Amino acid sequence: MEKLDAQILIVDDDQDVLLAAKLFLKQHITTVHTETNPENIPDILRNESYDLILLDMNFSPDATSGKEGFHWMNKIIELDPTAVVILITGYGDIELAVQGIKEGATNFLLKPWENKKLLATITTTLQLKKSKIELEDLRTKQKVLIADSDQAYSNLIGQSESIQKVLNTVQKVAITDANVLILGENGTGKELIARAIHRASNRKDQVFISVDLGAISESLFESELFGFKKGAFTDAKEDRAGRFEAANKGTIFLDEIGNLSFSLQSKLLSVLQNRKVVRLGANREIPIDVRLVCATNMPLYQMVNDSKFRQDLLYRINTVEIQIPPLRERVDDIALLVDHFLDIYCKKYKIQKKRLNASTIKILEKHTWPGNIRELQHAVERAVIMSESELLEPHDFFISPIDEEGYSNNIPSNMSLEETEKMLIRKVIDKHGGNISKAAKELGLTRASLYRRIEKYGL
């Protein structure tokens, strides 16, 4: 049998007990230290770290109260709060041992012991400590991940009246547990608002689980959201919790909820009404306690009228409704957002802070930004990477002067970022009569990069 990789300390005033224990345990454990005088415990713990300490409860002649054991156990825990202590006691002192566990001991061992019982107790206790350490590591990592994720969404930038109304609503609703529905076009920052609600809520120290319902196929919906038991389907090789279980005590954000089919809407409604989930392949109901925040860019009320979205589900998810304005209605915020993204990307790419002149800002403000803040963010990142000048010009943002002559006003509001880029490239090439060199220069691209885009879009 392979030795346990552990370092243990045994403190007992009986030399015979120590010798017998050490001779036996050294066959099974890598390091075993012994000590007869408990007064030496502080010095020992200042110099060594132990995975486990076995501590006798009585050291003075004829002592049976266990007070000495409690004293030294408390001293050990004071010196090392993570210490794992097993109390050594006689048969008549079991009540004392139980009291010791209440006060901080992990286990107790009766004297005289059988060697098998001694080893089993030590092995079990070491495994318990390992599990506790792993659990604490997971909790620590979770807190770090939550903090990192929140940091990425920590800044709600904007001074316009429309966004201030949104932020005021966020402050009011966050402290409640009300279900929130966030409506807005793609790229307006719906997840940003959802995370802001979570951070300001009473659940801020718990997990925030984001689920993109538009990316989950109908066949995987139940297993992803509600979990499954081993053997529930071909690839179910182990039990797994779903997103709702993972979000227990925290917040679950269901993005693109308008994409759910009618049948999946019914399953979701049942969970929200009962606050319980049943894993696929199981019968047991699992209670859940989650804060629900949903979002969509789809016209849910029209979908209800068209019998494409359940009215009872809509009522369930929108106790409070927040409408996020598109960027074209937040013109006053564009300069602030550009400066914010310049800070981020100049630091990220280790580039000296770039700036814009007033005329460039005015051109950016005239653009309709069909992709909203996400499009602006990508445009700023690209400008930081591609421009060699400290002063950024309109062409660095894929915004040409022709935008001021009506281009931006003629873009359909539902146009994707790629469609916008394709239209801009075509207009700039047409402007320069097919001269690729001039078009590339205005767009801030190399000829090779422009050729790749021409091929990509079939221009």
Domain of residue 127, CATH code: 3.40.50.2300
Instruction: Give the mean pLDDT of the chain.
Output: 86
Domain final position from 65, 97, 132: 132
Phi and psi angles of residue 407, each rounded to the nearest 5 degrees, phi first: -60, -50
In a domain, 142, yes or no: no
Let me know whether 276 and 344 are in one domain: no
Those residues whose C-beta lies under 8 Å from the C-beta of residue 83, and which sit 6 or more positions away, are 45, 50, 53, 76, 77
Which domain-ending residue is among 310, 325, 340?
A: 325
Is residue 394's pLDDT more than 90? no
The better pLDDT of the pair 85, 456 is held by 85
Distance, CA of 208 to chain centre: 6
Give the integer Cα–Cα distance in Å for 69 and 341. Answer: 61
pLDDT at 407: 43
Residues 332 and 307 both lie in one domain: no
CA atoms of 226 and 53, how far apart (whole Å) = 43
Structural domain includes residue 143: no
The count of domains in the chain is 3
SS3 30: strand
**Residue 92 — very low, low, confident or very high, per pLDDT cuts 50/70/90?**
low
Q: Region 228-248: what's the mean pLDDT?
A: 89
Q: What is the pTM of this model?
A: 0.61
Residue 166 covered by a domain: yes
At 408 the pLDDT is 44
Per-residue confidence (pLDDT) for residue 276, from 0 to 100 = 94
The verdict on 312 and 256 lying in the same domain is yes
Q: Is residue 60 a contact partner of residue 68, using CB atoms and an 8 Å limit?
A: yes
The confidence band for 62, taking pLDDT boundaries of 50, 70 and 90, is low
Residues 338 and 321 in one domain: no
Domain residues for 233? 153-325
Q: Give the contacts of 363 (CB within 8 A, at least 6 positions apart).
A: 394, 399, 401, 403, 404
Q: Tokens 């202590």 identify what position?
A: 85
> Do 80 and 159 belong together in one domain?
no
Q: Could you tell me if residue 148 is inside a domain?
A: no
pLDDT at 109 over 60: yes
320/353 same-domain check = no
Quick one: what percent of the chain has pLDDT higher than 70? 88
Q: Which of 325, 346, 368 is the last residue of a domain?
A: 325
Residues forming a β-bridge with 85: 53
In a domain, 144, yes or no: no
Tell me the CATH number at 435. Answer: 1.10.8.60
Question: Does the pLDDT of residue 395 top 70, yes or no?
Answer: yes
One domain for residues 164 and 293: yes
Same domain, 111 and 177: no
The pLDDT tens digits of the residues spanning 146-194 come to 555 555 445 678 899 999 999 999 999 999 999 999 999 989 999 999 9
Q: What is the pLDDT of residue 144?
A: 57
Residue 314 sits in the same domain as residue 336: no
- Higher-confidence residue of 250 and 67: namely 250
- Statement to judge: residues 366 and 394 lie in one domain: yes
Residue 407 belongs to some domain of the structure: yes
Using pLDDT thresholds of 50, 70 and 90, give the confidence band for residue 143: low
pLDDT confidence tier of residue 453, bands split at 50, 70 and 90: confident
CATH classification of the domain holding 220: 3.40.50.300
Asked whether 112 and 78 are in contact (CB, 8 A), the reply is no
Tell whether 216 is covered by a domain: yes
pLDDT of residue 365: 92
The strand pairing partners of 241, in sequence order, are: 227
Indicate whether 274 and 213 sit together in one domain: yes
- Rounded Cα distance, 312 and 322, in Å: 19
Condensed to tens digits (0 to 9), the pLDDT of residues 437-451 reads 888 877 767 777 788
Instruction: Please check whether residues 301 and 161 belong to one and the same domain.
Output: yes
**Residue holding tokens 């547990």?**
177
- Weakest mean pLDDT among 82-96, 317-331, 386-400: 82-96
> For residues 334 and 420, what is the distance between their CA atoms, to the nearest angstrom?
19
At 119-131, the pLDDT tens digits run 999 998 888 878 7
Cα separation, 12 vs 33, in Å, equals 11
Find, among 278, 144, 281, 153, the residue nearest to 210 by Cα: 153
What average pLDDT score do residues 237-261 get? Answer: 93
Q: 146 in a domain, yes or no?
A: no
